[in-house]
Structure 1
Amino acid sequence: MPRLLRAMGLMGLLLLTQAAAAEKLRLVADAWPPFTDINLVNGGLATDLVSTALARAGYASEFEQVPWARALQGIGDGRYDVLVSAWFNKERTLIGEFSNEYLLNRVLFLKRKDSPIEFDSLKALHAYPIAVVRGYAYSSAFDSDPELQKVPVHSFSMAVRMLAAGRVALAVDDEYVARYNLGREVPRVRESVEFLPKPLSENGLHILVSLKNPNHAQIVASFDRGIAAMKADGSYDRMFRLHGL
């Protein structure tokens, strides 16, 4: 009898593995380099981490890049299975199941190197013009503070160039996004600015798996195990180096 039970258990595991392999997950995200971008190696750092962790669990995947609103709507209606890069909020639990945090986003201010500005509180920054990218959310306190002098711009590149030229006193963005874009600026701009050490906010990055997928809980659990295994064997850190981060 024990042998029979072991055989049945192995057969069940094999069937689960085959089912996972047969299911090709539809991954989606908007363009957010260096995390997600079809023009980057393996679709960017986040796409690479997610697809690799899922592959370890036996899930094949394909990645599509669409605007954010369409990606979120596609998770809600089941057109896509996995949103690659999502910050947690309660409303999104109505359409998908979140994984554990697999990456941390630290939102930091940048200033000119010759500037004495320090960030202790938002109130201390009320006197300074701050370049912000239109449509971006930085933190609830920052976004809702009417006393901050926010100067809307189209991109981080425009923000950091205005900062280097002295047209604003501060810029703000995710640390990895800022470092990625600074690496593409001319030395005059790149070498004239620096990060303030205290983060404005820290947000965990998760995958969000559509509730329309009947295996959403299994996919999330498999992904979490895959990320844990990658951290344990060093492949997680190696992936950051592969993407220049």
Structure 2
Amino acid sequence: MRVSPLWKYIGCGLVLLIAMSAATHAAGTPVIDIDAEDAAAPWSQADGAGAANEIVREAFARSGVPVRLHTVPYARCKAEMLAGSVVGCIAVGANEALGTRARLPRTPLYRVRTVLVSREHAPIGSCDAHTWPASATVGRVNAYEYAPRFEQALAATHVAVSELGSEPQGLRMLVAGRIDALVLQLDSLKTLDYVQRQAGAQAPLQVACDFGPLDSHIGFSVRHRDGAFALAAFEQGYAAMLADGSVERILDTWRERLLKSPSPPR
């Protein structure tokens, strides 16, 4: 059948309109820049892998939103999210100090427990901060959020505080005797044994105190123009993942991986 030149032009025009519509739609979905901590294995690792990172990527994929993850030290992750130079940060603790400075999803990525770890027979061996000697030094990770009971205990003492770059660094300092105690965020994936093996700091340690739970979220910037959009997109995808069991499958995969790995990535 012969096609008139007019119909050829109409057909070409329709193809062009469809292509332009698709391009416009794609351009209308911003790429979300998210920082992820580089030293919070197995949740978030320097190589960009990690259980939390994997969950976040898939949640955004479910909502059709492209993301770029940048692995950085936690202090930078948090500072850039608060300043609005990135849309989000994996992962921030939902404590009073953070307050309304960040947008947090209704459901956390995971829950940690804030514990104080010391060497056996160390001067800090209990939750009673009044018994901690003033000469003692407690290590904490710079900019980390901790359970309120720990912050209250620390405020009630005159011990020195050493601000550290990461928990593995703190464990090496603890084993070497350079600090007297170290506050850690532990959970079912990131156990004390795991962090010790990651740090290469195998020595007899004790959990001197458990200060209680703290929810860990992907935090979204209040200042960034895409903060509210990203929060909504993440929550939509995350809810779908929780409903169909995808989150638990990712966590099960990481549990199996950790059981088979004698030496966590450093």
Task: Give the distance between the partners of 2:127 and 2:82, measured in 1 at CA.
Answer: 39
* Closer/same/farther in 2, CA of residues 156 and 95 from structure 1, 3 Å limit: closer
Q: Does 1:132 align with 2:143?
A: no
* Closer/same/farther in 2, CA of residues 210 and 232 from structure 1, 3 Å limit: same
| Superposition pairs of residues 1-245 of structure 1, within 5 angstroms | 22-34=29-41, 35-39=43-47, 42-68=48-74, 71-72=77-78, 74-75=80-81, 78-88=84-94, 96-99=102-105, 100-113=107-120, 118-126=125-133, 129-133=136-140, 135-137=142-144, 138=146, 139-150=150-161, 156-157=167-168, 159-165=170-176, 168-175=179-186, 176=190, 179-186=193-200, 189-196=201-208, 198-211=209-222, 212-213=225-226, 215-229=229-243, 231=245, 234-241=248-255, 244=258
AA partner of residue 52 (structure 2) = A
Could you list the runs of 5+ residues in structure 2 that have no partner in the other structure? Answer: 1-21, 260-266
CA contact (8 A) 1:103 1:205 kept: yes
Task: Give the distance between the partners of 1:162 and 1:128, measured in 2 at CA.
Answer: 16
Alignment partner, residue 14 of structure 2: none
* Closer/same/farther in 2, CA of residues 180 and 73 from structure 1, 3 Å limit: same
- TM-score between the two structures when normalised by the length of structure 1: 0.68
* Closer/same/farther in 2, CA of residues 193 and 146 from structure 1, 3 Å limit: closer
Quote the offset at 1:132 in angstroms: 0.5
Task: Give the distance between the partners of 1:117 and 1:236, measured in 2 at CA.
Answer: 37
Quote the offset at 1:29 in angstroms: 2.9
CA contact (8 A) 1:108 1:199 kept: yes
Question: Which shifted more, 25-34 or 226-235?
Answer: 226-235
Larger Rg: 2
* Closer/same/farther in 2, CA of residues 88 and 19 from structure 1, 3 Å limit: farther
Quote the offset at 1:157 in angstroms: 4.2
Quote the offset at 1:87 in angstroms: 2.0
Alignment partner, residue 18 of structure 2: none
Quote the offset at 1:179 in angstroms: 4.4
Quote the offset at 1:182 in angstroms: 0.9
- TM-score between the two structures when normalised by the length of structure 2: 0.63
Provide the secondary structure at the position in 2 that maps to 1:200. Answer: strand
Quote the offset at 1:190 in angstroms: 1.4
* Closer/same/farther in 2, CA of residues 163 and 93 from structure 1, 3 Å limit: closer
Provide the secondary structure at the position in 2 that maps to 1:215. Answer: helix
Q: What is the alpha-carbon root mean square deviation over aligned residues?
A: 3.9
| 1:8-60 per-position Cα deviation (integer Å, ceiling 9, x unaligned) | xxxxxxx9xx8799543222234232133332xx4333212211222233333
Task: Give the distance between the partners of 2:218 and 2:64, measured in 1 at CA.
Answer: 17
AA partner of residue 182 (structure 1) = Q
Work out the number of aligned pairs and report it.
224
* Closer/same/farther in 2, CA of residues 241 and 230 from structure 1, 3 Å limit: farther
Quote the offset at 1:127 in angstroms: 6.5
